[in-house]
Amino acid sequence: MKPVKVWDPAVRLTHLAMGVLVLGAFLTAEEDDTLPLHMKLGLGLLGIVLFRVVWGFVGSTHARFSDFVKGPKTVLTAMRAMVRGKPDHHLGHNPVGAVMVVTLLVLLGVVTLTGITMGLGPDWSGPLAMSKSTLHAVKEVHEGAAGALPVLIVLHVLGVILSSVLERQNLIGGMVTGFKRADDGHVEPASPGALRLTAGFLMALVLAAAAVFGLWRVLPVSEAAAAPALLSTYEREARAESPAFTGFDAARGRTLYFSEHPTKNGPTSCATCHAADARQPGKSPVGKRIDPLAPSANPDRFTDAAKATKWFDRNCTQVLGRNCTALERGDFLTYLSSL
Ligand code: HEC
């Protein structure tokens, strides 16, 4: 048995990154405040998966799908050999492990793509027009696939441990160091040349980076993108409210912000609580500090569509005695964004 370099650095790093990003995505999945981070992690994960898939065609010998993806017959034969406790020695992934590798990659693709679809959908105020029921279906798939991940990951780890025992070599260590032991008679197939590997690496990198950066700009992950994303939701709603809608107007939003209305607490405007200068902190009637409402002073503002809706409903009802229209919300946000 001699040590042979099997896993190139790209395989090992993407493997590690997938583990870390999946864990991070799970830890940030439930809470509203961690949603932007969850989306960033998911987007990173999509990039890693894309890179790994391309690398599976242009990478080093054992990184390639053609090296380890085998037909059902070979998989069954390898499974029987494992059950007998005498697995054939495969220098790359064994055919059974390969089924898991492909399943995990497909599942990660489904989870990240459905997650991004949700981010682009109306629920999270993105630019993708989708009906509520479609979005709901996408959400179900996202959560179902994400729920299957831990189960498969546990099976994957158990499979690796079992194979390590059967093959009498440390496969987990191999994925860290890149080395595995080969039979003495093993002849390693010629690796693709350095030039082709470099070109393949750059291609995989550029494709994955282009996808991530393109989506980064349209998804409400960055605070700068969030307010305009919410604005496009209001715009759609305003158009539905009135066919005569031609656009939002900061001046009308300003008027709404400052106009006083009689309430049970006396004449009240939005500025009563939110400060005349919306870049400054405001104060509630009981003296509690309210963080600035203008996104330029408080990047967290209007990054969460559900929160914005809740407060528009509450505060408009309190001040105006009725809900604000989509036109008013859009004008209001346009005014605040101009500050
Ligand atoms: C009685 C005090 C009060 C008045 C008057 C008031 N607000 Fe608010 N507003 C609050 C508080 C409290 C919050 C939530 C605390 C926070 O988010 O910092 C809030 C939050 C909001 C948010 C949430 C923004 C986000 O983070 O997404 C919007 C939108 C909003 N207000 C709109 C209005 C509008 C429009 C008016 C005028 C029609 C108005 N408010 C008047 C107290 C008030």
Cα(112) to centroid(ligand 1), Å: 34
327 token code pair: 């036109």
Exposure string for 87-121, b = 16+ CB within 10 A, e = fewer = beebbbbbbbbbbbbbebbebbbbbbbbbbbbbbb
Cα(110) to centroid(ligand 1), Å: 38
**Domain coordinates in residue numbering, the chain:** 2-221, 226-338
Helix axes 35-58, 9-27, angle to 10 degrees: 160
- Which stretch of 170-174, 271-275, 316-320 has the lowest confidence by average pLDDT? 170-174
Atom 23 (ligand 1): residue with closest C-alpha? 308
Torsion angle, alpha carbons of 270, 272, 278, 279, to 10: -150
pLDDT of 126 reads: 58
- Which stretch of 46-50, 145-149, 173-177, 289-293 has the lowest confidence by average pLDDT? 173-177
Cα(50) to centroid(ligand 1), Å: 42
pLDDT of 200 reads: 95
Task: Render pLDDT for 248-263 as a digit per residue (tens, 0 to 9).
Answer: 999 999 999 999 999 9
Cα(87) to centroid(ligand 1), Å: 66
Helix (H), strand (E), coil (C) string for 189-204 = CCCCCHHHHHHHHHHH
Q: How far is it, in rounded angstroms, from Cα 56 to Cα 64?
A: 4
DSSP states of 273-303: HH-SSTTS-EE-TT--EE---STTT-TTTTS
pLDDT of 334 reads: 92
Give the DSSP H or E segment for 62.
none
Best mutation site among 311, 319, 327 for ligand 1 pocket (most ligand atoms within 8 Å of CB): 311
Q: How far is it, in rounded angstroms, from Cα 120 to Cα 127?
A: 5
pLDDT of 150 reads: 95
Atom 15 (ligand 1): residue with closest C-alpha? 290
- pLDDT at residue 32 is higher than 80: no
Task: Render pLDDT for 101-128 as a digit per residue (tens, 0 to 9).
Answer: 999 999 999 999 999 888 876 555 556 6
The neighbour count for residue 44, using CB atoms within 10 Å, is 20
Give the DSSP H or E segment for 236.
helix 223-241
Q: What are phi and psi of 172, to 5 degrees?
A: -65, -45
Cα(192) to centroid(ligand 1), Å: 61
pTM of the entire structure?
0.63
Average pLDDT over residues 160-181: 86
Question: Are 15 and 174 spatial neighbours (Cβ–Cβ below 8 Å)?
Answer: no
Atom 41 (ligand 1): residue with closest C-alpha? 270
Place of tokens 């002849």: 187
Question: Are 159 and 96 spatial neighbours (Cβ–Cβ below 8 Å)?
Answer: yes
The CATH architecture assigned to 2-221 reads: Up-down Bundle (1.20)
Pocket of ligand 1 (CB under 6 A): 268, 270, 272-274, 284-285, 290-291, 301-302, 307-308, 311-312, 315-316, 318-320, 332
CA distances from 83 to 70, 71, 73 (A): 18, 19, 15
Amino acid identity for residue 88 in this structure: D
CA distances from 2 to 160, 182, 183, 188, 257 (A): 20, 5, 7, 12, 75
Q: What is the CATH number of domain 226-338?
A: 1.10.760.10
- pLDDT at residue 55 is higher than 70: yes
